[in-house]
Amino acid sequence: MALNIRTAAATDADAIQRIYAPIVLNTAISFEETPPSITEIAHRITKTLQTYPYLVAEEQGEIKGYAYASQHRARPAYRWAVDVTVYIAESVRRQGVGRELYGTLLSILEKQGFHSAYAGIAQPNEGSVGLHESLGFTQIGMYPEVGFKLGKWHNVGYWRLGLNQATPPLEPIIFPELEVASQ
């Protein structure tokens, strides 16, 4: 599979919505209960890109998956930590798309100066756990029965990956500034 990993654009919202909507509707992987509209996804992409990377993987012009980073918590001392998310089209799961997306995403986050990346994974989800652990994430905890969806309670496990280890850290670089600097 010859993938092109690139920065997402608001115009990718339709393709992203087609990947995400079945996950929302049919699984507990996402705790959203109603799939966001294409307009809402376009807004989320635009808002995310103000600070963090939002990437898509495409093959022959068709988006096969996406990954992005987001704020871990709102307090200022958390600014060196990010949450990361990846979703892959069902037709190409377990074919390396998630690994390629995350490889690019994590490299960008390290260049931005983030100290650590966190992933929350609704349980059970062996595929996501396997992907994260194969990339070096380690499990740091579990929230038992934290979400109720599809008629039952679900645990959410948390995984962490260390990025930059500088102490004291430099201020993180927002994604648009990093993109300009790398051109």
The per-residue pLDDT for 133 is 97
* CATH code, domain with 153: 3.40.630.30
Residues 141-170, mean pLDDT to the nearest whole number: 96
Whether residue 179 is predicted with pLDDT greater than 70 in this model: the reply is no
Q: List, for residues 95-135, the tens digit of each pLDDT value.
A: 889 999 999 999 999 999 999 999 999 999 999 999 999 99
Q: List, for residues 35-79, the tens digit of each pLDDT value.
A: 999 999 999 999 999 999 999 999 999 999 999 999 999 999 999
116-122 and 81-88 strand pairing: parallel
At residue 75, what are phi and psi to the nearest 5 degrees? Answer: -65, 145
C-alpha 33: how far from chain center:
18
Number of domains in the chain: 1
Asked if residues 132 and 122 have their Cβ atoms less than 8 Å apart, the reply is no
- Look up residue 2 and give its two tokens: 């010859």
The per-residue pLDDT for 96 is 85
Domain with 33, as residue range(s), is 4-181
Asked if residues 147 and 154 have their Cβ atoms less than 8 Å apart, the reply is yes
The per-residue pLDDT for 180 is 64
Asked if residues 10 and 42 have their Cβ atoms less than 8 Å apart, the reply is yes
Q: What is the DSSP letter of 170?
A: P
Query: What pTM value is reported for the model?
Result: 0.94
Sign (positive/negative) of CA torsion 17, 83, 46, 76? positive
Q: For residues 111 and 99, what is the distance between their CA atoms, to the nearest angstrom?
A: 18
